[in-house]
A and B are shown apart, each in its own frame.
Chain A
Amino acid sequence: MVFRSLARFSVNYLQVLDEHGQIDARHAPKLTPALVKHAFDAMVLGRAFDETALALQREGRLLTYGPGKGEEAAHAGSALALRKGDWIVPSFRENTAYLARGYPPELLFEYWMGDERGQKMPKEHKMLPVAVPVSTQIPHAVGIAYAAKLLKKNEVVLTYFGDGATSKGDFYEALNFAGVFRLPVIFACINNQYAISLPRERQSAARTLAQKAIAAGIDSIQVDGNDVFACYRATQQAVERARKGEPTLIEFYTYRMGDHTTSDEASRYRSAKEVARWAKRDPISRLSKYALGKKLWNKQHEQKIWKLARKRISDAVAKAEAIGTQPIEDIFAYTYSQPTPRLREQLEEARKEAV
C-alpha cells in the first residue's frame, strides 16, 4: 500500500542563555540593561518570597505551600513580556509572575496564611486568583480572550498550568476552542517534570508537551525554562502572534526544585542526584553569571538586590500578619450579590456564637 503524506510537524526548542551564562545572539531578544535588571529583581523577589513562605510554614504561620523554586525564569520571563493591560490566569505556583507584575506580596501572604482578604485583586491588576483544581483555569483564559476579541480590547491572555494539567480534558478542550476561534491567548505550560510524584515520562507517551498543540492547529514551542531570555523571547513572539489573533502553546522546560507542597516528601520518588543535576541549571545564578560577565552590575550590587528583596518580603509578612481577625460578616458577604433571608438568619446565628 502506498500512502500520501498529508501533513508533517516538527517541534522547535529555544535556548538563548546557556548554563555558563553565555548568550546565543541569533535568538536573543532585545536586551536592554533595564530589562535584564527587571528580570533579575523579579526572580530574586520570587525566590525570597518562596524561602520566607517555607520558613513560615514550618513555624505554623502559613498553610500548606507549593514552592516555585527553580521555576522563576519561566514565571518572570513570561510575565514580563506582557503589557499591563494583558491578563494572567494562573495556576498556584506562579508567585514570581505576580511579583514581576508588581503585585503586593502582602496579599499573597494573606492568602497563603488562610485569609480570603488576600484574594481581593487590586483594580489595576488583570489577574485571576490562584486555581487549585488542576487545569480548570485554562478554559477561563480562552473565554477572557474571546471577550477581548469580540469587544476589541487589544488584550492578550496568558494562562499558566503545569505538565500534570496536560493530562486533563479541560486542557485539550481549551486548546481546541482557541484554535477554532483564533484567540489572543498564550498557553504557558510550566513543565517542571512532576505531577506530585508522577514523572513527566509517565504522564504522556508524547516526546514533548509542546506537540499537544499540533492536534488543535496551534503553533507551539519548547523553551529552556531556566533561561529567562528564552522564556521572555518566546512569550514576546507569542504576544505578537496573539495580537493578530493567533494562539500559541509554550512549554517551559524546567524543574520543580522543591517538594510538590510542604505536605509532600519528594525524596520518596526522585533521586538526590537528579535534583543536584538540575541545581546546576539554576535560573538565577545563570542570569547572574551573564550580568556579572557583561558588567551590568557587580557582586556587591547583587548582594544589595537580595537584601532589598528580603526586606520587602519581611515587610510584607509583617503587614499580612498585622491584618487582624476577619469579621464574621466577611465570610457571608460575597455568597450572592445580595444576602438572602436565609443567610441573614445564619449570620445572626453565627454572630451569637462564642468565639
Chain B
Amino acid sequence: MAVMNMVDALNSALDNELERDPRVVVLGEDVGRDGGVFRVTQSLLKKYGELRVVDTPLAESAIVGASLGMSLNGLKPVAEVQFDGFTYATFDQLFSHVARMRTRTRGRFTAPLVVRFPYGGLVRALEHHSESPEAFFCHFPGLKVVAPSSPYEAKGLLIAAIRDPDPVIFMEPKRLYRAIKEDVPETPYIIPLGEARVVQEGSDVTIVSYGSMLQSCLEAVKLVAGAASCEVIDLRTLTPWDERTVIDSVGKTGRLVIVHEAPRNCGLGGEIAATIQQKCFYKLSAPIARVTSWDIITPLPKMETRHFPSVSRIAKAIIETATLQ
C-alpha cells in the first residue's frame, strides 16, 4: 500500500499493465518525454522505451484510428486524448470504426483499446477544457464508458478497462486528480466494469452519481444529514451501468436523485430516470430529480460555479425529493 492521489494511482495502473503485458502500448500527445500534461504517464517512457510509450504528433483522430489498427494486430493500446474538448475530433474513428468493428466482422476482429482523457470543470480552465461528454459515448452502441471517483477506484477500473475485450472510454475527473489521497495497493487489482458501488447506505433517498460529482454529493449528504438518510451510489461504469444496484436501492428508499456534471438535455440522468420509473414505478414516492449543469455552452471560469451543480444545489434537490409527501 502507498498513499496516492488519482494521478499516482493511474500512473501505477499503467506501470503495472505495461510491465505485466508486453502488448500494452501507451500513446498520445506529450505522454512520453513530458510525462503527460497532468503527469499521469510520468517516468513510463524511461522505463518502457519510446516504442511502447509513444509521443505522437498532434492528431487526435489519428491517435484513436491508429490505436484501432494496433488493437487489430495484437497490441493493447491505451491512448490519451489531452482534454475532454479534444475528444470531439475522435468521434468519427470511435463511432464509425472502433465501436462497430466486432459487429461488422462478426467477431473476427475486435478493438480491445482504451481511450483515456481528463474531463469536467471547476478547475478554472480555458475554453474546451471543462467538458463532460459522456452522453455521446454512452449513446453509441459498442463502447464501454467508465468514470472513476477516487484514486483507489481509478486504478482498479483502469486495469479492468485495459484487460477488457471491448473498447473502453475512460473519463478521468481532472478536478479530483490531486484533490484526494488514499491508500492504494502498488500491485495490480481489478474493479470489475459494470458494477456500481454503494458508498454509503441510507433509507430515505437514493443518490446516484459518478466521477467528479461524487465528492460533491457526499458533501451535500453531510449537509442534509439531520433531515434525510441518504444512500449514495457511485455508478463507476456508465455503459453498461449497473441497473440492479440502483433498482435495489430505489426499491428500498422509493426516491432518487441523479447528479451529473454534464448538461441535462439527453444526459445520462434521463436514461437512468426512465429506466427506474419503468422498473420501480410502484415503489416510487416522489418524482425522480436530476441535478445537472444547465443546457448551455460551458461558460468561462468566472461563471462556471453558477453553471455546474454546486453542493447546495444538490442538497436542495435531496431535501425536496426526500421530504415530498
Q: Least Cβ distance of B131 to chain A in Å?
A: 11
Within 113-149 of B, Cβ neighbours of A (below 8 Å) are at: 124-129
Indicate which residue in B35, B58, B62, B124 contacts A134 across the interface (CB closer than 8 Å): B58
* A343 & B295 in contact (Cβ 8 Å cutoff): yes
Shortest Cβ distance from B265 into A: residue: A342
Further contacts, 5 of them, CB under 8 A, given A64-B126, A196-B30: A115-B300, A115-B302, A195-B29, A202-B55, A346-B264
- B95 interfacial contact with A, CB 8 Å: no
B175 to chain A, nearest CB (A): 15
Residues A293-336 near B (CB distance < 8 A): 325-326, 328, 330-332, 334-335
Complex interface: stretch among B69-77, B191-199, B307-315: B307-315
- Which chain B residues numbered 46 to 105 have a C-beta less than 8 Å away from chain A? 55, 57-62, 85-86, 88-89
Does B299 touch A at the CB level, under 8 Å?
Answer: yes
Pull 24 A–B residue pairs with CB atoms less than 8 Å apart, ordered by A: A63-B124, A63-B126, A114-B301, A132-B129, A134-B86, A136-B89, A167-B57, A167-B58, A195-B29, A198-B29, A198-B30, A204-B57, A268-B34, A269-B33, A328-B303, A331-B303, A332-B294, A332-B296, A335-B295, A342-B295, A343-B296, A346-B294, A350-B306, A353-B306
Determine if A133 is an interface residue (Cβ-Cβ < 8 Å). Answer: yes
For the complex formed, measure the closest distance between the CB of B290 and the CB atoms of chain A, giving whole angstroms.
11
Cβ of A235 to closest chain B Cβ, rounded Å: 25
A353 close to B312 (CB less than 8 A): yes
Contacts of B225 in A (CB 8 A): none
**Those 3 A-B pairs whose CB atoms lie nearest each other, nearest first:** A114-B301, A197-B34, A167-B57
Which one of A132, A169, A347 lies within 8 Å of B127 (CB-CB)? A132
Q: How far is the CB of B87 from chain A (nearest CB, A)?
A: 10
Across the interface, do B59 and A167 meet the contact criterion of CB distance under 8 Å?
A: yes
Given A63-B126, A114-B300, A114-B301, A169:B61 Cβ within 8 A: yes
Q: Could you say which residues of chain B place their CB within 8 Å of the CB of A342?
A: 265, 295
Shortest Cβ distance from residue A99 to the other chain B in the assembled complex, whole angstroms: 20
Chain B contact residue count (CB 8 A cutoff): 40
Within 8 A of A (CB), among B272-325: 294-297, 299-303, 306-307, 310, 312-313
A135 CA to B58 CA in the complex, in Å? 10
CB-CB contacts of A263-281 with B at 8 A, as 1s and 0s? 1100011000000000000
Residues 167-203 of B at the A interface (beta carbon under 8 Å):
none
Where chain A touches its partner, the secondary structure class is loop
- Tell me which of B126, B295, B303 has the highest count of chain A C-beta atoms within 10 A of its own C-beta: B126
User: Inside 8 A of B61's CB, which chain A residues have their CB?
Assistant: 168-169
Residues of B within 8 A of A1 (CB): none
> Does B306 contact A355, Cβ atoms closer than 8 Å?
yes
The answer to whether B299 and A116 have CB atoms under 8 Å apart is yes
A114 & B302 in contact (Cβ 8 Å cutoff)? yes
Q: Which residues of B contact A (CB under 8 A)?
A: 29-30, 32-35, 37, 55, 57-62, 85-86, 88-89, 124-129, 264-265, 294-297, 299-303, 306-307, 310, 312-313
Tell me which residues across on chain B come within 8 A of A332, comparing CB atoms: 294, 296
Given contacts A335-B296, A350-B294, A354-B312, contact A132 B126 (CB under 8 A): yes
Task: Report the minimum CB–CB distance from B23 to chain A (whole Å).
Answer: 24
Considering the chains assembled together, what is the distance between the CA atoms of A269 and B299 in angstroms?
A: 33
Nearest residue (CB) in B for A202 is: B55
Q: Are B301 and A328 in contact (CB under 8 A)?
A: no
A231 within 8 A of B: no
Q: How far is the CB of A269 from chain B (nearest CB, A)?
A: 5
- Once the chains are docked, how many angstroms separate the CA of A332 from the CA of B265? 15
Q: By the criterion CB–CB under 8 Å, are A198 and B55 in contact?
A: yes
CB contacts (< 8 Å) of A113 on chain B: these are 302
Whether the Cβ atoms of A64 and B125 lie closer than 8 Å is yes
Report if A283 contacts B (CB, 8 A): no
- Chain A residues positioned under 8 Å from B55 (CB to CB): 197-198, 202
A168 B300 Cβ-Cβ under 8 A: no
Complex contacts, A136 vs chain B, CB 8 Å: 89
Does A165 sit at the interface, judged by CB under 8 A? yes
Asked whether A164 and B58 contact (CB < 8 A) given A64-B125, A196-B30, the answer is yes
Q: Does A203 contact B (CB under 8 A)?
A: yes
Bound complex: CA of A168 vs CA of B63, how far in Å? 11
Q: How far is the CA of A161 from the CA of B37 in the complex (A)?
A: 21
Q: Mark A190-206, 1 if CB is under 8 A from B, else 0.
A: 00000111100011100
Q: How far is the CB of A263 from chain B (nearest CB, A)?
A: 7
Q: A164 — which chain B residues lie within 8 A by C-beta?
A: 57-58
Q: Which residue in chain B gives the minimum CB-CB distance to A323? A: B302
Residues of B within 8 A of A133 (CB): 85-86, 88-89, 128
* Contact in complex: A346, B300 (CB < 8 Å): no
Taking CB atoms, residues of chain A closer than 8 Å to B310 are: 353
